[in-house]
């Protein structure tokens, strides 16, 4: 009787999982196939190639920014208890939860020409309105939580015994972090880079508000869809999907290298 129940559960899991898999994969696959004939024309359009390059370039900068600042914060949250830790830990996820056009407005209010930080940076010759710096800022804001959470989970999975042993042998906290904690958390950090980059490249709402120009690929895609129709927008969609998949597969290959 138990075996029969297990069999029915396996059948149900297979069917329900297959339906969800098709729901997630079919639109991507069909979009790529349906837009393939327009790839040559799209690849010869400087608007499209420039916007793709800009998206991937700014996404890489946002990932690097999130990596450099997110790793220390993730380690702090995973290893130390302090007053206000729960509040700090909760607020990190806020950019994920709020509408991203609202995130763009918040960034514009703070980093715009009349904002508190915007005025300061303007005196240094740095502007976030319609600049690459603004695109990177918007991408970093919405994607950095993924880096922090992935790194935090990776650090929390490390046994404290190895770190304690190194400390007892005279290693400084920075040496323990660089020689033990960071290498052991490398696979989770690489996963965080992958998620951060993917989220940064796909950002639309915050960039539209803060840095409409120069146009990233999602912004250009929206403009083409509204101004030239679905037929012209499909090749851009297909190219975004293909290049995104190739880079994500590359990230996963690197992550498997850390596993081995």
Mean pLDDT of the chain: 84
**Average of pLDDT values for 154-180?**
76
pLDDT computed for residue 258 by the predictor: 61
* Distance between CA atoms of residues 94 and 227, nearest Å: 33
In contact, 136 and 61? CB cutoff 8 Å: yes
What is the residue-wise DSSP string for 34-90? HHGGGHHHHHT-HHHHHHHHHHHHHHHHHHHHHHHHHHHHHHHHHH---TTHHHHHH
pLDDT at 40 over 60: yes
Domain assignment present for 31: no
Could you read off the pLDDT of 56-111 as tens digits, one per residue? 999 999 999 999 999 999 988 888 777 877 888 888 888 888 888 898 899 988 88
pLDDT computed for residue 146 by the predictor: 92
Q: Which two tokens stand for residue 9?
A: 């559960």
**Residues listed for the chain:** 260
pLDDT at 202 over 80: yes
pLDDT computed for residue 5 by the predictor: 61
**Average of pLDDT values for 23-33?**
86
Domain assignment present for 120: yes
Domain assignment present for 34: no
pLDDT computed for residue 116 by the predictor: 76
Q: Which of 206, 209, 193, 239 is nearest to 61 (CA)?
A: 193
The domain containing residue 144 runs over which residues? Answer: 42-259
Domain assignment present for 78: yes
Domain assignment present for 61: yes
In contact, 259 and 216? CB cutoff 8 Å: no
pLDDT computed for residue 179 by the predictor: 77
First to last CA, the chain: 42
Domain assignment present for 73: yes
Question: Exposed, middle or buried: residue 192 (CB in 10 Å: 0-12, 13-18, 19+)?
Answer: buried
Torsion angle, CA of 51/100/67/65, rounded to 10 degrees?
Answer: 60
* Distance between CA atoms of residues 207 and 130, nearest Å: 9
CATH no. for residue 207?
1.10.3720.10
CA distances from 142 to 125, 167, 184 (A): 25, 36, 27
pLDDT computed for residue 194 by the predictor: 86
Instruction: Select the highest-mean-pLDDT range: 106-120, 143-157, 238-252.
Output: 143-157
* Distance between CA atoms of residues 101 and 112, nearest Å: 15
Domain assignment present for 163: yes
Residue 113 DSSP label? T
Q: What is the number of domains present in the chain?
A: 1
> Which comes out higher in pLDDT, residue 121 or 167?
121
For 15, the 3-state DSSP assignment is: helix
pLDDT computed for residue 260 by the predictor: 61
The pTM score is 0.84
Domain assignment present for 229: yes
In contact, 251 and 199? CB cutoff 8 Å: no
């Amino acid at each position: 009787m138990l075996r029969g129940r297990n069999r029915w559960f396996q059948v149900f899991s297979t069917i329900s999982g297959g339906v969800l898999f098709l729901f997630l994969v079919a639109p991507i696959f069909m979009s790529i196939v349906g837009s393939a004939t327009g790839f040559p024309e799209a690849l010869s359009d400087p608007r499209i190639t420039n916007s793709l390059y800009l998206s991937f370039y700014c996404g890489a900068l946002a990932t690097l920014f999130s990596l450099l600042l997110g790793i220390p914060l993730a380690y702090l949250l995973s290893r130390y208890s302090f007053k206000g830790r729960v509040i700090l830990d909760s607020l990190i996820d806020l950019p994920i939860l709020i509408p991203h056009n609202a995130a763009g407005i918040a960034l514009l209010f703070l980093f715009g020409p009349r904002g508190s930080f915007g005025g300061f940076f303007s005196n240094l010759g740095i502007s976030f309105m319609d600049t690459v710096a603004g695109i990177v800022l918007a991408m970093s804001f919405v994607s950095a939580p993924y880096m922090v959470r992935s790194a935090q989970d990776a650090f929390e999975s490390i046994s404290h015994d190895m770190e304690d042993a190194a400390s007892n042998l005279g290693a400084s906290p920075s040496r323990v972090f660089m020689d033990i904690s960071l290498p052991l958390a490398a696979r989770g950090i690489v996963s965080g880079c992958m998620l951060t980059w993917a989220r940064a490249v796909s950002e639309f709402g915050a960039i539209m508000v803060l840095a409409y120009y120069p146009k990233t690929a999602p912004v250009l895609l929206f403009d083409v869809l509204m101004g030239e129709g679905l037929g012209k927008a499909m090749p851009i969609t297909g190219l975004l999907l293909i290049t995104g998949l190739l880079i994500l597969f590359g990230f996963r290959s690197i992550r498997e290298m850390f596993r081995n």
